[in-house]
Each structure stands twice: as C-alpha cells, then as structure tokens.
Amino acid sequence: MSTHAPNQSRVIPLRPQAPAPGSGGPAGGPRGPVGGPPPRAPREPLWRHLVGDVLRRERLAQERTLKDVAEAARISMPYLSEVERGRKEASSEVLAAAAQALGLGLADLLLRAGDELALHARSRVVRGRPSPTAQYDGLCLAA
C-alpha cells in the first residue's frame, strides 16, 4: 500500500480571482458600494436597442398591438418583438417595413434613434465624462 496522498486535480483559473469579501482588495483603489468593485461608467446603448425602443414607443403611442403592426409590416410577430426588445439586429428592409406600418419613414425612425443616442452622449458630458466625439478640431462642442 502506498503512503502517498491520492492524486488531486488542480484547477488553474483563467481569470484572476476576486479578493475574498472583507479582505480589503487592492489598497488605495476606488471602491464601489459596500467595498465592491469601482462603479463603471454607463455604457453607450447599442443601436438595435435605440431603434427597438423607438419602434415600441411609437407602437404604444398609437395604441396598436404587436400583431397588428407585424401583419401590416409583413413581419412575423415574434421577430418584431425581438427587434423591439433590441435582441435582433434588423435589416434596413425590415426596419423600413416596420416604420411604414407605423406611418413613419425609415429616415424618421433613424433620426429618432439618433436623437436618443445624442441625448445619451450629452448626459455623459453633463456628468463630467465627455464623450470621445465631444471635441472636433480642438474645440469642445459640448459647452
């Protein structure tokens, strides 16, 4: 009989392990709530989320059902739902059909989504985090 300990597998983590709760973590770094990681800057929204939000808001403002708009646009109802929730990246043809079913042009839909993106960028500047596109030719356009 052998006196050696049984073979034990060793797990090598692919990512660095987070410090154990209460261990204090790295000294001197900014800390988030209750000693957690530092707070992250808000992320820019994805284009598909902005477009989906505009489609959904317009549909609800018109008090129309998903089924009604999907049929008018000749898009499947589940697919239109996924587009509205920002889970699918719709083609320009699908977006144009959905916009037309709501009485909008494709340009109207995209301009509204662009306005939402601009609002988000401005809110980042107001909070003290200028967006990377806030400067042009050395002049700050956000002021």
- The band of 7, judged by pLDDT with boundaries at 50, 70 and 90, is low
- What is the pLDDT of the chain when averaged over all its residues? 79
Q: What is the pLDDT of residue 122?
A: 87
In this structure, is the dihedral angle defined by the CA atoms of residues 17, 20, 21 and 26, taken in order, positive or negative? negative
Residue 115's identity, in one-letter code, is D
Name the 3-class secondary structure at 17. Answer: coil
Q: What is the pLDDT of residue 61?
A: 97
Could you tell me which residues come within 8 angstroms of residue 116 by beta carbon, excluding any fewer than 6 positions away?
45, 50, 53, 54
Q: Looking at the whole model, is its pTM more than 0.85? A: no
Note the pLDDT tens digit of each residue in 10-38. 666 676 666 555 555 455 445 555 666 66
Domains by residue range for the chain, with CATH:
47-125 (1.10.260.40)
